[in-house]
């Protein structure tokens, strides 16, 4: 690889790489606002000022490609002065409302001001203010905080494929807004908040719920479709507060869709069944031993089929396969998840960005285990055992006796003789296989709520409840 010198260090770089990325390789951080590795380079904010030997003017690292033998200074006096002046320019109109701003703590403007700005303020004129229009259900806008980096405009244009964020007016009055002040249309709107370097665009969903530094972070994978975008769950105690995309160049780059971003909400849905349910028992809370017995009884003497949601992990599905062999020998296993998608050949891109047609995470894993897609119950079937995580859509099964294991909502409970509640993707570890055959790990962030148990534990109780001494 060719090399250049940055702050006296020899740095190898890939041809075509800019100085921000090249410096990163040497562990040198060049501060940026408008530059984003997933978007085009506009060199507008001027924050990434560097000195390049042989060039008199200060250069912007984002728009300067590294070249063999190039000598770059990122900490010289002229560079420091240039950055300090950019910080001053950006802050003269920026409100000092960090204490009530949701971005505080994860704000590029705050960080760079601390790192490169001056504590002294020379501006005495009136600050520029704007009136904001509503941007729809996802994003809250505060134009007064905007630093005109245009990342949002470029995201809409280049990634979401919709030019809905635009610059209106010009010069000092430039306003970054939606076209004609309309609400946002893209179903990738959450990314606007992620890439906004200030508190100008924040998530309505997360607003005022938690300070950014109070959350714990767990790196895991989205279960929203068969792509398996890499995400980070932000949580505290037993509550998940938000989902952020995690960079993965080969799967989702820097983005996630809104469906995946807000998928976590059902974890804390009031209607989620979080303790075992037995129909017709009359008891509000039968407790686990009675419920497991009731579940066994409901299927006793029946010809049983097992239906597996294609949102289960590989480990869960394998365990269920083994369980079926022991307790329902000869029973048919099939998977369900998205109506109309029986196999991976039915799956495909649902849009030009990230979304896949299969709305469950492990369709391809199910196929790997040899479980076929569900079509219809065989005529002889008189009972079914349904396993499901959070997203697989329940198929029709008529009037046969049904027992459910997994994650269910109250309206669904009526379809089951017994329900044994289990854990969502955020509450368990496991492996899922995405559409391209990449195995990825789900990592547990929070404990399951209420009386929910892992499927492994539920199957163990089922097995044990038949032993001597078990209730009958």
Partner 1 sequence: MSKSAASGETLYIQHFGNEEARSLDYYLKQMQGYTALKKAFGMKAEQIIDEVKASNLRGRGGAGFPTGTKWGFIPKASQKPKYLVCNADESEPGTFKDRDLMRFTPHLLIEGMVIGGYTIGAHTGYIYIRGEYTREAKLLRAAIDEAYANGYLGKNILGSGFSFDLTVHRGAGAYICGEETGLLNSLEGKRGEPRVKPPFPAQAGAFGGPTIVNNVETLTAIPFIVNQGGKWFASLGRAEKSGGTRLFCVSGQVKKPGLYELPSGGVTLRQLIYDYCGGILGDKKLRAVIPGGSSAPVLTPDEIDVVLDIEPLMKIGSMLGSAGVMVVSEDYCLVRLIWRITKFYEHESCGQCTPCREGCKWMKDVLWRIESGKGRDQDLALLLDIAENINGKTLCALGDAAAGPVLSFVRKFKADFEAHIRGKRCPHAP
| Residues lying near partner 1 in the complex (CB under 8 A) | 41-47, 49, 57-58, 63, 81-82, 85-86, 88-90, 92-93, 122-123, 125, 147-148, 150, 167, 169-174
Element housing 140 (H / E)? strand 139-141
CB closer to partner 1, 145 vs 296: 145
Rounded least distance, CB 65 to partner 1, Å: 9
- What whole-number distance in Å separates Cα of residue 64 and Cα of residue 41? 10
**Could you tell me if 342 and 375 are in contact, meaning their C-beta atoms sit under 8 angstroms apart?**
yes
CB closer to partner 1, 56 vs 379: 56
Relative orientation angle of helices 288-299 and 455-465, to the nearest 10 degrees = 70
Rounded least distance, CB 60 to partner 1, Å: 8
First to last CA, the chain: 72
Helices within 50-99 (DSSP H only): 77-92
Taking the alpha carbons of 321, 318, 266, 194 in that order, is the dihedral positive or negative?
negative
Rounded least distance, CB 443 to partner 1, Å: 40
Query: What torsion do the CA atoms of 411, 415, 421, 426 make, to the nearest 10 degrees?
Result: -60
Rounded least distance, CB 86 to partner 1, Å: 5
Neighbouring residues of 119: CB distance < 8 A, sequence distance ≥ 6: none
CB closer to partner 1, 41 vs 413: 41
**How many alpha carbons lie under 13 Å from residue 17 in its C-beta half-sphere?**
18
CB closer to partner 1, 55 vs 436: 55
The rounded Cα 364 to chain-centroid distance in angstroms is 20
CB closer to partner 1, 63 vs 439: 63
Rounded least distance, CB 392 to partner 1, Å: 46
Relative orientation angle of helices 455-465 and 314-327, to the nearest 10 degrees = 10
DSSP structural state of residue 228: -
What secondary structure does DSSP assign to 327-386, as a single string? HSTT--EEEE-BTTB-SGGG--BSSSSS-BS--SS-HHHHHHTTPPBP----TT--EEEE
**Could you tell me if 462 and 295 are in contact, meaning their C-beta atoms sit under 8 angstroms apart?**
yes
CB closer to partner 1, 93 vs 226: 93
CB closer to partner 1, 150 vs 465: 150
Rounded least distance, CB 150 to partner 1, Å: 7
Rounded least distance, CB 35 to partner 1, Å: 11
CB closer to partner 1, 146 vs 371: 146
CB closer to partner 1, 153 vs 452: 153
- What whole-number distance in Å separates Cα of residue 158 and Cα of residue 320? 44
Rounded least distance, CB 176 to partner 1, Å: 10
Rounded least distance, CB 80 to partner 1, Å: 12
Taking the alpha carbons of 359, 360, 365, 368 in that order, is the dihedral positive or negative?
negative
CB closer to partner 1, 63 vs 412: 63
**Could you tell me if 331 and 307 are in contact, meaning their C-beta atoms sit under 8 angstroms apart?**
no
Query: What torsion do the CA atoms of 420, 453, 445, 363 make, to the nearest 10 degrees?
Result: -50
Rounded least distance, CB 346 to partner 1, Å: 39
């Amino acid at each position: 690889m060719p090399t250049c010198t940055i702050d006296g260090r020899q740095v190898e770089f890939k041809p075509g790489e800019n100085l921000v990325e090249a410096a990163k390789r040497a562990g040198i951080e060049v501060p940026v606002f408008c530059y984003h590795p997933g978007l085009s380079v506009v060199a507008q904010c001027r924050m990434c000022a560097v000195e390049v030997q042989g060039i008199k003017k200060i250069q912007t690292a984002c728009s300067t490609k590294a070249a063999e033998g190039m000598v770059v200074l990122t900490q010289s006096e002229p560079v420091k002065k240039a950055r300090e002046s950019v910080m001053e320019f950006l802050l003269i109109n920026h409100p000092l409302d960090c204490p009530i701003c949701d971005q505080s703590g994860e704000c590029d403007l705050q960080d760079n001001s601390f790192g490169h700005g001056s504590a002294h303020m020379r501006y005495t004129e009136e600050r520029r203010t704007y009136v904001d229009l509503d941007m729809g259900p996802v994003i809250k806008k505060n134009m007064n905080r905007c630093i005109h980096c245009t990342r949002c405009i470029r995201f809409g244009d280049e990634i979401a494929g919709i030019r809905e964020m635009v610059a209106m007016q010009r010069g000092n009055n430039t306003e970054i807004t939606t076209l004609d002040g309309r609400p946002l249309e893209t179903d990738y709107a959450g990314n606007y908040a992620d890439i906004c370097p200030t508190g100008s665009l924040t998530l309505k969903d997360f607003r005022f719920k938690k300070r950014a530094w109070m959350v714990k972070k767990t790196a895991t994978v989205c279960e929203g479709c068969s792509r398996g975008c890499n995400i980070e769950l932000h949580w505290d105690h037993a509550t998940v507060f938000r989902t952020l995309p995690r960079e993965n160049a080969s799967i989702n780059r820097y983005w996630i869709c809104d469906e995946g971003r807000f998928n976590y909400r059902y974890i804390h849905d009031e209607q989620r069944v979080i303790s075992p349910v037995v129909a017709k028992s009359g008891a509000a809370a039968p407790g686990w031993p009675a419920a497991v017995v009731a579940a066994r009884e409901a299927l006793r003497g029946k010809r049983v089929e097992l239906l597996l949601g294609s949102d289960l992990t590989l480990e869960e599905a394998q365990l269920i396969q083994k369980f079926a062999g022991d307790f329902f020998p000869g029973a048919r296993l099939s998977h369900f998840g998205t109506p109309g998608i029986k196999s991976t050949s039915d799956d495909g891109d649902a849009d030009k960005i990230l979304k896949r047609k299969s709305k469950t995470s492990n369709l391809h894993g199910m196929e790997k285990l040899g479980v076929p897609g569900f079509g219809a119950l065989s005529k002889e079937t008189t009972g079914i055992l349904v396993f499901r995580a959070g997203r697989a859509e329940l198929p029709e099964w008529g009037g046969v006796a049904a027992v459910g294991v997994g994650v269910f909502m109250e309206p669904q409970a009526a379809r089951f003789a017994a329900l044994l509640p289990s854990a969502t993707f955020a509450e368990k570890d496991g492996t899922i296989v995405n559409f391209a055959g990449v195995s990825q790990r789900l990592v547990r962030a929070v404990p399951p709520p209420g009386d929910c148990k892992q499927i492994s534990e539920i199957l163990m109780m089922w097995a044990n409840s038949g032993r001597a001494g078990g209730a009958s």
